[in-house]
Every structure is written in structure tokens, then in C-alpha cells.
Amino acid sequence: MPLSQHKPMTKNAVLITGAAGEIGQALVRELAAGGAQIVTLDLAAMPPELAGSTTHVTGSITDKALIERLGTEYSFGTIYHLAALLSTRAEHSPALAHEVNVDASVLLLELAAAQSAARGEAVKFIFPSSKAIYGMPDLETKAAHPRVREDEWLHPDTVYGANKLAVELLGAYYSRRYKQLGDAPAALLDFRALRFPGLISAFTLPTGGTSDYGPEMLHAAAQGKPYACFVRADTTIAFMAMPDGVKAMLTLAAAPRQALSRTAYNVNSFSLSAEEFRQQVLAAFPEAQISFAPDAKRQGIVDSWPMGIDDSAARADWGWAPDYDLARCFDEYLVPNIRQRYQR
């Protein structure tokens, strides 16, 4: 829909960028059920079943004029900034990754800063960051530090990890120090980031990520397709069920600001090796054909990510706890929904 056809200035609208992607679709489903006025922005159209739930703008988050026009036509209470190039895709086009993952984030931070100042009330800016902001130097160090804390190992090996870390730091700046040498704005925005494990959805597949081997293995098995996993069998990282990812974003967004001791929080669920992932898939789909054909470059990326992340700060500050451990994730969420999706 062209922006000029929108009704101007609904107060406390919710903006979701990258809304047609995996996290976006799951988040829209939850928020729409609560009756929020949602504006979605994505290069792609929303899937038909969600199209009626939002006012959708088809366009790029790198389009400065478009972002500025959104800012004149809506007053946002909360922005969920999900649009990003994931780690494998970003590695193929680092300059584009910087433009999408960092420069466009600055456009949105500017929008949120201007609206916070104009309203005298902080716009909440919720940002999905990633375990990719960590960089474990070698496999021995990775094994010796199975649950890294927020302030450790912040030396990402990928452009995606560097982009996410840069936006975390910029968000903290916009939240606390923005224009500190000029006239102090009436209110600063309220930036909150979550460092996610690899999210797995029963309903969508990721594109361009490097933790994708997990969901790809499972969705391939459910469709009766063979799958060659692009990392070694012993490769271990953390994963999380998509409903927990959405729950984490909504719970963090709702937390009172004074309860938060940091702007970026780890959220963890369960860790498992690619072989353990395969065993889970085989338990549900015994005929699945899953082999291992490691790709050295993508293997290097996953090897640099920690096995798990320590989420005690999120638990203490805003009561975070995942609903799905490994068994519940497969038995109650992934397998029944994926079976139904592919009807096997």
C-alpha cells in the first residue's frame, strides 16, 4: 500500500521491520492476537494468512526517504527491528550486509530518537541480536567455556556478528547518551537487545543463516528428502523454539525499564550437537536420510560460535525462562506441527 493512503498519526503503533521473515511472521501472529495496530515493512509481501493483520509497506529499510515518511505518518510506541541479512548471506556480500544490518538500523534509531524527543516519552526499540556476536578462538576454548556471559568473547569472526554487535553498541548509545553535547532531547529511546541462539520454527525455514542446518535437516526429513548436513557431526551450538523467541521479545519489551541492568541480554534454551539433532529427527522420522558433508567455510563460522550462552541476567532481571527444553521442543512443538505441515 502506498504510504500516502495511510491514516496519519496513530499513537503507539507498533512497527515491525523484516516482518515477512521467520521471526516476523511469528511475532505478527502473537501481536495481532492482542489487538495492536501493527505497521509492517518488508521487501516481500506478508503471507496471505497474515495480510489482514497489519498495514503492510513493501519497501527496503535502506530507503531513507521511506523511513522518514513512516516517521511522519505514524507515531510508534514500539519498534521491533528484525530485518537483517543472516550470517552466511552476509559473508557473501559484506558491504551490503553493513548497509542493511547497520546503516538501516541507524535510520530506524534516528526515527525512534526523533519520535521519543517529540513525544517526551521513550519509544521502545527491540532488537534481535545473536550468539554470532561472540567469537571463540578455537575448539578447545569453545569446549572450556560452554556458557558464555554477555561481556565475554566479544570478538565476532563474521561480518554479521560484527554488524549485530555494532548495532547493540549504537542502540546503547542512542538510549543513554544521544546528542550529549547538544541540547538534551526531552526523552531518549529505550533500546533492548536479545542475543538469540539459532531459532527453529515448525512453520518457516530460515534463509542465509549458518545455524540453518538444524531446521533444514528436520524439514527435509519431514518431506522425505535426503539431507547433507554442512557441519561436522560433533558441532554443538544452542537452539531455541520459535515460540520462545517470540516470548522473549514480548517479555523483554514489557519489562519495566528500572528492572533492566543492561541493554543486551543472552537468552538460552538448549544445546545439542549436529549428531544429537540427527538422532532427534530420526526418532520422529526413522526413514530420514541424513549424511554429513561439512563445508569448511560454514564450519568455521559455526565453530566460532559458543556452545551455549549464560542467560542468568535475563532470568534475574525480567524473569526469562524458556517454555521449551529439547524434549518439549521436538515432541510438542516441532514434530507434530511439521508432520501436519507436510502431512507425513
Write out the residues near ligand AKB by the rule CB under 6 A: 86-87, 130-132, 160, 198, 209-211
Alpha carbons 13 and 57: distance in angstroms, whole number: 14
Residues 6+ apart with CB under 8 A from 177: none
Tally: H helices and E strands in the chain: 15, 12
Task: CB nearer to ligand AKB: give 75 or 273.
Answer: 273
Residues 6+ apart with CB under 8 A from 253: 78, 80, 124, 126, 192
Task: CB nearer to ligand AKB: give 20 or 189.
Answer: 20
CB of 163 to ligand AKB, least distance (A): 11
Task: CB nearer to ligand AKB: give 22 or 190.
Answer: 22
CB of 70 to ligand AKB, least distance (A): 26
Environment class of 196 (CB within 10 Å of its CB; exposed 0-12, middle 13-18, buried 19+): buried
Task: CB nearer to ligand AKB: give 122 or 309.
Answer: 309
CB of 132 to ligand AKB, least distance (A): 5
Q: Which residue has the cell 541476567?
A: 313
Q: How many CA atoms lie within 13 A of 199 on its CB side?
A: 29
Alpha carbons 21 and 203: distance in angstroms, whole number: 11
- Which stretches of 14-76 are DSSP H helices? 22-33, 48-51, 64-73
Alpha carbons 295 and 324: distance in angstroms, whole number: 30
Q: At what angle do helices 104-119 and 64-73 cross, to 10 degrees?
A: 20
CA dihedral 334, 335, 338, 344 (to 10 degrees): 180
Task: CB nearer to ligand AKB: give 89 or 341.
Answer: 89
Task: CB nearer to ligand AKB: give 74 or 227.
Answer: 227
Task: CB nearer to ligand AKB: give 130 or 268.
Answer: 130
Q: How many CA atoms lie within 13 A of 181 on its CB side?
A: 0
Phi and psi, residue 57, nearest 5°: -115, 120
Task: CB nearer to ligand AKB: give 18 or 198.
Answer: 198
Sign of CA dihedral 220, 43, 23, 310: positive
CB of 211 to ligand AKB, least distance (A): 4
Q: What is the DSSP letter of 329?
A: I
3-state secondary structure of 19: coil
CB of 221 to ligand AKB, least distance (A): 20
CB of 129 to ligand AKB, least distance (A): 8
Judge whether 152 and 134 are in contact, CB under 8 Å: yes
Task: CB nearer to ligand AKB: give 160 or 277.
Answer: 160
CB of 167 to ligand AKB, least distance (A): 13
Q: Which residue has the cell 541424513?
A: 290
CB of 157 to ligand AKB, least distance (A): 12
Give the residue nearest to ligand AKB (CB).
Answer: 209
CB of 277 to ligand AKB, least distance (A): 14
3-state secondary structure of 303: helix
